[in-house]
Amino acid sequence: MPAKLSVNVNKYALVRNSRGHDAPNLLHAADLCLAAGAHGITVHPRADQRHVRFADVPSIAAHLRARHPGVELNVECEDAPAILELVCEVRPAQCTLVPVTPGEVTSDHGYRAGDVPRLVPTVRRLKQHGIRVSLFVDCEPAEVRALAASGADRVELYTGPYAQAFGTAAQAAATEALVASAAAAAEVGLGVNAGHDLDRHNLYGIRDVVGLCEVSIGHAHICRALEVGTATSVHELLTALGHEAPAA
């Protein structure tokens, strides 16, 4: 079974925020992505609310439950009290915890073994609310194994380095690190997600990774959607994952 596709709608929110109105509407954007065959929706509320705002999260969650029952919402966020309180109130299917460096442009590193002690109570709290927990991690097998002690259900492999290496002499080594990290996750009972800079081209290189459950894609999707439209962009990603895209 090919990995599922969760579309990150943060960049739709970024465009909306630039005008201060409600266009594009995030609920409509989610509808379009799901109608095109996406399996889930991802949001990443940040403390500065430069993309998805805190108020968007419950609205999207309620919309998915009412209009798209069974579709999973994945909330990516840092381990911060106010954001975690919001996540526990909304109770998405999955929360992906991501370490954040103040001022960063985008996520650029994963959790490591030294983070486990402080992650344990957060993971426990989220799971008590019925939320599946995934931890963002670099493609380093030893670090992947170490995160199992947190009690998380999955890891999300940080694919930025793989994407940067794609099409270069470094591609084979980056792919090998990703495959080895997925195998390490399986060894310790962790499910595997993947995300960051994945697109319709480099997905072909990882779609057969054993145990890959889900990929989340936002930036590459919106860039391609500007050229060919939302539906076609989603269809291309599904095809790259090995799904048969819905008929147009």
- Residues assigned a catalytic role: 44, 76, 196
Rounded distance, CA 230 to CA 33, Å? Answer: 7
CB 206 within 8 A of CB 158: no
Rounded distance, CA 26 to CA 41, Å? Answer: 11
Per-residue b or e along 59-98, where b marks 16 or more CB atoms closer than 10 Å to that residue's CB: ebbebbeeebeebbbbbbbbbeeebbebbbebebbbbbbb
In DSSP terms, 226 is beta-bridged to: none
